[in-house]
Structure 1
Amino acid sequence: MSDNLSVSLDGTRCKSYGICVSVMPDVFDTPPGSPTAVLLRDAVDADEREDLEEAARACPAQAIALDSGRKP
């Protein structure tokens, strides 16, 4: 069974630093002229978790959140 992780990007926090794009260019993009990054997809496979966590940790604006969807 493949566990997907949901990812969200808070556009009110994002300042378009682009770190997320450099870590996960298939998930995040910064369109020309856009004040914020955008999500290209809102879920990633479990095997991409490490990269997604790195992108979230590296975001200076703390605009990236992930959720495994599991309840404790």
Structure 2
Amino acid sequence: MKIIVDRTKCTGLGICESLAPDVFEINDDGELVLKTEAVPDGQLADVESAVSGCPTEALRLEQD
């Protein structure tokens, strides 16, 4: 699975970071940084929670 970010929608709220900190990070400028584009083994549930919890719908998952 690949993580797709719509940067025009992302507002840097950090909900994704709180739900999947091994994958998402909000930098000092308030911008989302993906630590990896591919969902790491054992992290799918956390990443799915982050995607569904994004209030701006800036995240989605795509099959490789």
Whole-Å separation in 2 of the counterparts to 1:33 and 1:47: 29
Partner of 1:63: 58
Residue 33 (structure 1) shift: 1.8
Q: CA RMSD in A?
A: 1.3
Aligned to 1:49: 44
Matched, 1:29 2:25: yes
| Structure number, greater radius of gyration | 1
- After superposing on structure 2, the runs of 4+ consecutive aligned residues of structure 1 that deviate more than 6 Å are none
Instruction: Flag structure 1 segments of 5+ consecutive residues without an equivalent.
Output: none
| TM-score normalised by length of structure 1 | 0.78
User: Identical aligned pairs, as a percentage?
Assistant: 34
Gaps of 5+ in 2: none
Number of equivalenced pairs: 64
TM-score by length of 2: 0.86
